[in-house]
A and B are shown apart, each in its own frame.
Chain A
Amino acid sequence: MSARTLSEALLARAAGRRDASPGDLLTCQVDKCLATDITAPLSIEVFRRMGARRVARPDSLILVNDHFVPAKDIESANFARAMREFAKEQKIERYFEVGRSGICHALVAERRLVSPGEIFVGADSHTCTAGALGAFATGVGSTDLAAVWALGELWFRVPETVRVVLDGTLPAYVTSKDVILRILSEIGVDGGRYMAIEFAGDGLAALPMEARLTLCNMAVEAGAKAGLVPPDEVTARWVAETGGTLALALAPDAGARYARTLPVDLSRLEPLVAVPFLPSLVQPVRELRGTPVDQVFIGSCTNGYLTDLRDAARVLRGRRVADGVRLIVTPATQEIYLRATREGILSDMVEAGAAVTTPTCGACLGGHMGVLGSGETALATTNRNFRGRMGDTNSRVYLANPWVAAATAVAGTICLPEDLP
């Protein structure tokens, strides 16, 4: 048996094979599959066209209301209704209704809907977030997802792997968001195209699960098929908290072949910002100081976790959002919303002048609850700053970590917490 990367090991097992090499096309059993209110309706329509009547494995399905919820208009209400009725018809237990839900990728991690070692596909490109748990997790379209519902399996091309080795510890106000932005600036938005990004190194141990979710979340921004963190003690603790299982967890073999190895010295990083219109156009915050913004958004599957809200609240506590600036905060799940409420984080934010919303993908993708108008500029803790991503074609989005976002909301211009009076 040749030495395998984590992706090769996971895909080989799911295909019932000993080995897998980059370029192999494998048919794999899919352990869990995800759709949301915005992608499920097309999958349902395709599922019917496929002549399928019952999903192959109802316990593998995860259906989450998150994108345009609570319904932003009649069309999205009807989309959500289609998914709700399908869940009922197919007796899907893991259906998450508004008020008991959250942004799907955050929910998957929080509720341990996916376990280390599993093959997980989702009709949402940020499905790769769950690679933080050591699962092989990747985004697909609605038709591929319908095929998984019908057959319980899907074909995969085994990706080459880029190994990112993290060393050292992060300085103040620097987070894993800056790590992934640094990687994107180095390899570009297609530098990981068709590849897996596997994280390694001593620096990983100090990164909590939330920080790892952020790292893997933006692997797709490099074009990658998956981002993966091999399971370790942090993973084991996270899984143990709600009785999840490590039964399928695998590690990469020593001597596995990598397409490229990228070392990152965490201790030498500084807070970064991705400027319009690509997540790979990265500059240090210090070079962008003074850039005015109309809106700051803190949330999303990238940075809507409790740790992110805590960081932002530390900056906002006792301060006020600048005149002429809107701060919108969206906790990623109901559980995070509740815990942030109990910790007093949200009252600190509301007192500072923030608008706190119910969990949704809304603002991040220009859907609702924070859409930008023509000529407006936002700084957001999200993952994409493509043209028109958060609203009008003539709006602009800067991407940064929650420390920078909170400080920018207070100053009204891009800055660091240490710049505030």
Chain B
Amino acid sequence: MKPGALLRGRARVFGDHVDTDVIIPARHCATLDVDELGRHAMEGLDPGFPSRIGRGDIVVAGRNFGCGSSRETAPLALLGAGVGAVVAASFARIFFRNALNVGLPIFECPDAVAACGEGDALEIDPSQGGLTHLKTGRAFPLAPYPDQLLRIVDAGGLVPYVRRRLGVD
């Protein structure tokens, strides 16, 4: 995730407890090709999802998004499909770590989720910690990441963070 980059896209709305089996079924997981993973993103709930959405669209979901398996292919599939960010009422913990590690911007904001309809235009300003619902102009504050996570996010993800720790860079 590049800190500060403005994210704009249309809301793609899902319910509570969207699990990693529907985000990317296990049978498609024997690949490291992010575009290939993207072609199957959300297949378990909405097989037309990758072709229907626009680049940078924002998945808006209810509680416990990304529950279930630890597969990192779940956030990678969303990235591969062109998803720009995920805003949810809450996230499952492994998905939360995985998303930050692979650079998929995610934000916890139950109020914004409640206010969003399918296709609504949204703008997220990560540096200011805010989400704007463009049609109504309503603004929602986004909870900041904890310090330890900020160090990783600020380094550009866990890979650059470890490179720095190993003295590679």
Contacts and interface: CB of A to CB of B under 8 A. Distances in A.
Interface of A: 25, 38-39, 41-42, 45-46, 49-52, 67-68, 73, 75-76, 78-79, 122-125, 127, 139-144, 146-147, 150-151, 155, 157, 189-190, 193-194, 223, 225, 278, 365-367, 371, 384, 386-389, 393
Contacts of B162: 50-52, 146-147, 150-151
Contacts of B2: none
Given A365-B21, A388-B22, A393-B47, 6 more contacts: A122-B70, A141-B94, A143-B102, A223-B64, A366-B26, A386-B68
B26 A190 contact: no
Contacts of A124: 69-70
A42 B72 contact: yes
B98 A193 contact: no
Contacts, number: 137
Given A140-B94, A143-B98, A125 B70 contact: yes
B71 A39 contact: yes
B93 A225 contact: yes
Of B93, B98, B169, which is in contact with the most chain A CB atoms at under 10 Å from its CB?
A: B93
Given A50-B162, A365-B26, A387-B45, A39 B63 contact: no
Interface in B44-70: 44-45, 47, 63-64, 67-70
Contact of B63 (A75, A78, A123, A190): A190
Given A50-B162, A125-B69, A141-B101, A75 B90 contact: no
B169 A51 contact: yes
A151 B64 contact: no
Nearest to A156: B148
Nearest to B99: A141
Closest A-B pairs by Cβ, 4 of them: A51-B168, A141-B98, A141-B72, A143-B101
A190 B70 contact: no
Interface string B28-48: 011110000000000111010
A322 to B, nearest CB: 28
Contacts of B168: 50-52
- Majority SS at the chain A contact face: loop
A387 B21 CA distance: 8
A142 B99 CA distance: 11
Nearest to B26: A365
B64 A193 contact: yes
Contacts of A46: 159
Interface residues of B, number: 44
Contacts of B63: 190
Contacts of B22: 386-388
A61 B97 CA distance: 21
A155 B155 CA distance: 15
A190 B25 contact: no
A143 B93 contact: no
Contacts of A42: 32, 72-73
B64 A140 contact: no
B165 interface: yes
A151 B162 CA distance: 8
Contacts of B30: 38, 68, 73, 75-76, 78-79
A278 B166 contact: no
A50 to B, nearest CB: 4
A78 B30 CA distance: 9
Nearest to A127: B70
A193 B168 CA distance: 36
Interface string B127-169: 0000000000000000000111000000000110111011011
26 contacts: A25-B148, A45-B32, A50-B159, A50-B168, A67-B26, A140-B97, A141-B98, A141-B102, A143-B98, A143-B159, A147-B162, A150-B166, A151-B162, A151-B165, A189-B64, A190-B17, A190-B90, A193-B64, A366-B27, A367-B27, A384-B68, A386-B21, A386-B44, A386-B68, A388-B43, A393-B44
